[in-house]
Chains A and B, each alone.
Chain A
Amino acid sequence: MNGRLFWLTAALLVGIAAHIAYILFVPRTQMDAKMSDFTALAGTNKLVVVEPDVLATVLPGADPGLAHAVCVFDLASGPVLIKASVPAGYWLISFYAPNGDSFYSLNDRQADVRNLSLLLTPKSSDPGTDRLSNPQVGEGSEIAVKSPSARGLVLLRARIEAAALRTRVMGDLATSFCGRAN
């Protein structure tokens, strides 16, 4: 009886360890793999429009009704500038840390501009100087975004109103820029 209880307890402890390991490590390794995939696709500090035929591979579960562009940013050599001539209609720009957290996002109504410009810098030690989320901005102004990590992902998405407009919306996103700010 004691023997059985011992093995049962041992199995339970192994189970708890496996459970915790899965929850803590799988998201991190999957996000690392995703960052590697995007780096292979787009390089670093470079924005690339994702073609529809590879969308499900690099962004499983993504809405095919949106055009997607990605940029893997690296702030090691200085701030990164993101400039986009966003199409009319719905668009959304989201920033992700390497742990999968979405630390900033902005959509067309919040920004109310056609020429979007965001300057990405590392988060300072003084939280009071960091912009939190969704500021009201004006045309021509540069939005300061503070990143909690040196590396991460930028995902720019725009709605495709009709299938015939896919190429045009993807073309609009393709004129966007993600790179070192000089």
Chain B
Amino acid sequence: MFGRIKLALTILIGVALGLLSARYVAGGGLDLVAMSQGPWKTWPSAGLNTMDPYTKAHFLAEGRLADNRREIVEFETAGDGNGSPFDAGCTYLIAGRFGWSRWWSITASRESDHASLPPLRPSSLHSGQVVFEADGTAVIRLAADPQTGNWLAMPSSGRINLVLRYYDPVPASRANPAAVVLPQVQREACR
């Protein structure tokens, strides 16, 4: 009887450890298959013939299709530059230069289901919709409530994920996504 309990516990612990470690590595943990830059992560082999199984698992486990980085270079973050996860009660400043491709977009969605907001709320902005500063940088406010200037609407619940996509990237960024200088993500204020 005691032996059976031990066996069941061993299997349970083993399976849990195996699944958690697989999800952790596929999700970019330890930077084994992903590259980190500040809070942003990218999976360099995404969509290539040489796509590794962890990268494939990262995208497909969430029901997403990985794009070839010759077409789209994609960066993700679930938190700000201090490493804190996004809080729907706070406003975040996303600022910097975005010019590494023909055009780009930034999308906020709930990490659990990747559902973005209804079309009337701007859960996604592209470079043609953004008002740029005189020096060519862009300043975007991520918040659940409307903001002046460039507003990216944040889902009001759940774990929030930001995806920055560079469409038709310039040769330097598609050859080496780590070379892309990404915008800063800073928490500005909280309710």
Taking Cβ atoms with an 8 Å cutoff, the residues of A that contact B are 7, 10-24, 26-27, 30-31, 33-34, 52, 56, 59-65, 90, 92, 94, 96, 99-103, 105, 107, 109, 133-134, 153, 155, 159, 161-163, 166
Contacts and interface: CB of A to CB of B under 8 A. Distances in A.
24 contacts: A12-B14, A13-B14, A14-B10, A14-B15, A17-B14, A17-B18, A18-B14, A19-B18, A20-B18, A22-B18, A30-B60, A30-B61, A56-B115, A59-B63, A60-B64, A61-B163, A63-B107, A64-B124, A65-B124, A90-B168, A102-B68, A105-B71, A107-B71, A162-B129
B68 A94 contact: yes
A22 B60 contact: no
B64 A61 contact: yes
Given A10-B10, A59-B65, A60-B62, A27 B53 contact: yes
* Interface of B (DSSP majority class): mixed
Contact of B61 (A13, A19, A20, A27): A27
Given A56-B116, A94-B71, A14 B11 contact: yes
Contacts of A96: 65
B129 A18 contact: no
B65 A100 contact: yes
Contacts of B23: 22
A19 B71 contact: no
User: Interface extent on B, as a size class?
Assistant: 35 or more
Contacts of B51: 100-101
B67 interface: yes
Given A64-B107, A161-B128, A92 B65 contact: no
A64 B116 CA distance: 8
B73 to A, nearest CB: 13
A22 B22 contact: yes
B68 A105 contact: yes
B113 A60 contact: yes
Nearest to B126: A65
A-B residue pairs, 5 tightest by C-beta: A18-B18, A14-B14, A60-B114, A27-B60, A61-B114
Contact of A105 (B64, B70, B119, B129): B70
A18 B23 CA distance: 11
A100 B105 CA distance: 23
B110 to A, nearest CB: 9
Given A18-B19, A109-B168, A56 B114 contact: yes
Nearest to A3: B6
A58 to B, nearest CB: 8
Contacts of B125: 65
Contact of A100 (B14, B66, B128): B66
Contacts of B113: 56, 60
Nearest to B49: A101
Given A21-B18, A34-B65, 12 more contacts: A15-B13, A18-B14, A20-B18, A22-B23, A23-B26, A23-B53, A23-B54, A64-B116, A92-B167, A102-B65, A107-B168, A155-B65
Interface in B36-85: 47, 49, 51, 53-54, 56-57, 59-68, 70-72
